[in-house]
């Protein structure tokens, strides 16, 4: 069975990721993966499924920025 296309890059077929049953998008900045349960991403070590992954990534980036600001301010 051939790997599915990336749900973000419809014209690119995903490639097998090592010795696993996971396929990954070949675009380095994409980060989308696919297994028998569907599409997902790994963000900060957590498996995130669903269409809100871009929102989750922005939210986690915002959290990192706030943590850095608070650390500098000593709060």
pLDDT at 5 over 70: yes
Q: Where in the chain are the domains? A: 15-73
22's CB contacts (< 8 A; 6+ apart) are 16, 33, 34, 35
* DSSP letters for 39-67: EEEEETTEEEESTTHHHHHHHHHHHHHHH
pLDDT (tens digit, 9 = 90+) per residue, 30-72?
888 999 999 998 777 777 887 554 555 555 666 777 778 888 8
> The whole model's pTM is what?
0.61
């Amino acid at each position: 069975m051939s790997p599915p296309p990336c749900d973000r890059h419809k014209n690119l077929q995903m490639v097998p990721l090592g010795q696993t049953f996971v396929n990954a998008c070949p675009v380095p900045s994409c980060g989308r993966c696919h297994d028998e349960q569907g599409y997902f991403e790994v963000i900060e070590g957590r498996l995130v499924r669903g269409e809100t992954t871009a929102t989750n990534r922005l939210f986690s980036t915002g959290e990192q920025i706030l943590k850095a600001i608070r650390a500098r301010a000593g709060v």
